[in-house]
A = this chain, B = another copy of it.
């Protein structure tokens, strides 16, 4: 009888204990889903810390995530990629960050020895994420009686680090893509003796125009990325024509105009979305709203929207810049020209947007000046 009662009571306690674990596991799983939806490193760090605090039933603490990345040439760099709590800046090199020396030492130790450390009021977890990167999670507890003993928090930490790794890689490759596109665009422009900053500015102006048109985020990002490719066809134009200081004669002009189709052809070799957009920009950025442009003489909305945006951005920036055959125009001259070309060269509402927020567009030029 007594045994039965005992066992019953123990049964109840066990149920409570397991039920609590169950709730915690559910929390862990939804926390993982939450993290998977986050695309920003900063937001990621905060969310991960808050989930950990909840899982460990703590009030507050600090979390730093350091990452060791081994490059293709086996050089390693340690950086802080997410943090929350006392230390707030991010994406620093670990060395130059203003994290305290003791903590730096603990993090480096974890990287070197490839294992976890438990301090009196901290936990340092080491996680190998793939063959060329590892992460260290440093957690400091406010209440020094608490330790990082929860198996649950450990499980969660593994997911945190794995998701963060994917996120970091995605950011890295996106940055690589953007920079390579600028570099290529600049190389092409350098050939036609325009400065590289034109490429960057036109990309930003296209993005701003797309944004003010209310187009979706994906379109804005895509046009900003692909814009540097719009003149890639100039690669095939003889320098005698490209660098002629005076006016081109008819024959030279015909050759010059081929850069639109050549660029489109170069980019059409790839079927990825960004190349297809670049191909459209290259092909149609000299078409005019009234049909007087080249190479196809398309009219109005038959010209792809991407190219109509590009046309305005390209001319807006070129007018304000110095070229071998002209001085930069004043703001008033640019405004007057754009207005005079409404419904002729340019779609009217695109001109209206630039005129309305002229200063905002001009600011892009101020931010990225040509250097002579």
Residues of chain A whose beta carbon lies under 8 Å from any beta carbon of chain B: 1, 4-5, 7-8, 11-12, 14-15, 18-19, 21-22, 25-26, 28-30, 32-33, 36-37, 39, 70-74, 130-132, 155-156, 158-159, 162-163, 166-167, 169-170, 172-177, 179-184, 186-188, 190-191, 196, 216-219, 221-223, 232, 235-236, 238-239, 266-267, 269-275, 277, 306
30 A–B contacts from the bound complex (CB under 8 Å): A1-B1, A1-B4, A7-B12, A8-B8, A11-B11, A11-B15, A15-B18, A29-B155, A29-B159, A30-B155, A32-B159, A33-B158, A39-B130, A71-B218, A71-B273, A72-B216, A72-B219, A72-B222, A72-B273, A73-B306, A74-B216, A131-B216, A131-B218, A169-B170, A175-B272, A176-B273, A180-B180, A180-B181, A182-B269, A196-B269
List of B residues within 8 angstroms of A166 by Cβ: 36, 166-167, 170
The answer to whether A176 and B275 touch across the interface, beta carbons within 8 angstroms, is yes
Check if B267 sits within 8 Å of A183, measured CB to CB: yes
Closest to A170 in B: B170
For residue A39, which residues in chain B have a CB less than 8 angstroms away from its CB?
130
* Residues of B contacting A33 in the complex (Cβ-Cβ under 8 angstroms): 155, 158-159, 162
Q: How far is the CA of A223 from the CA of B28 in the complex (A)?
A: 40
Q: A274's contact among B176, B186, B217, by CB below 8 Å, is which?
A: B176
One of B169, B176, B222 near A177 (C-beta < 8 A): B176
User: What is the bound-complex CA distance between A330 and B4, given in angstroms?
Assistant: 92
- The CB with the most chain B CB atoms within 10 A, among A32, A179, A271, is that of A32
A117 to B247, CA, bound (A): 67
20 further A-B pairs in the complex, CB-CB below 8 A; given A11-B12, A18-B18: A4-B5, A7-B12, A8-B8, A11-B11, A15-B15, A25-B25, A26-B155, A29-B155, A72-B223, A74-B216, A131-B216, A132-B217, A132-B218, A172-B272, A173-B177, A179-B271, A180-B180, A182-B269, A183-B267, A191-B236
Decide: B179 and A270 in contact? CB cutoff 8 A. Answer: yes
CB distance from A352 to the nearest CB of B (A): 23
A190 CB contacts on chain B under 8 angstroms: 235-236, 266
Q: Are A70 and B177 in contact (CB under 8 A)?
A: no
Which residues of the other chain, B, contact A270 by a CB distance below 8 angstroms?
179-180, 182-183
